[in-house]
C-alpha cells in the first residue's frame, strides 16, 4: 500500500467517526489493515489537506490524551458531549467508538 492510498484509507475512517465518539490512532491503523502503524496514522492526520473537512478532533491516543499544541480539540469534543476524566484524558469507557468494519466502507 503506497502512502497516498494509506492516507486516503485513514481519512475514510476518520470521516466515519460519529459525533460524540473518539477513536485511537491504533484503532485506525487496525481498520486500514496496518495494525502496527499507529504512528503512520498520526503522520497522516498531521498531513490532512487544508480543504478536507474531517473530524480530526475525534482522534486521540490510546489513553485518551489529546493532540499536543491543539487547544481547541477539547472544546470541540466537549461540544459534542465527550466527557473527560479528572486527569484531562477522554473517558474512553464512555466515549470510544465501538465500530464495525462494515461501517467504514
* Residue 67 burial by Cβ neighbours in a 10 Å radius (0-12, 13-18, 19+): middle
95 is catalytic: no
14 touches 31 (CB < 8 A): no
43: cell is 503522520
Instruction: Pick the catalytic residue from 56, 69, 89, 95.
Output: 56
3-state percent breakdown (helix, strand, coil) of the chain, nearest 5:
45, 10, 45
Tell me which residues are annotated as active site. Answer: 56
Amino acid at each position: 500500500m503506497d502512502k497516498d492510498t494509506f492516507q486516503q484509507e485513514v481519512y475514510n475512517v476518520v470521516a466515519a467517526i460519529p459525533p460524540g465518539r473518539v477513536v485511537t490512532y491504533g484503532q485506525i491503523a487496525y481498520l486500514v489493515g496496518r495494525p502496527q502503524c499507529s504512528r503512520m496514522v498520526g503522520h497522516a492526520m498531521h498531513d490532512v489537506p487544508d480543504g478536507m473537512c474531517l473530524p480530526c478532533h475525534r482522534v486521540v491516543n490510546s489513553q485518551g490524551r489529546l493532540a499536543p499544541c491543539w487547544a481547541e480539540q477539547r472544546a470541540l469534543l466537549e461540544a459534542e458531549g465527550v466527557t473527560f476524566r479528572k486527569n484531562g484524558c477522554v473517558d474512553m469507557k464512555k466515549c470510544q467508538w465501538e465500530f464495525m468494519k462494515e461501517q467504514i466502507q
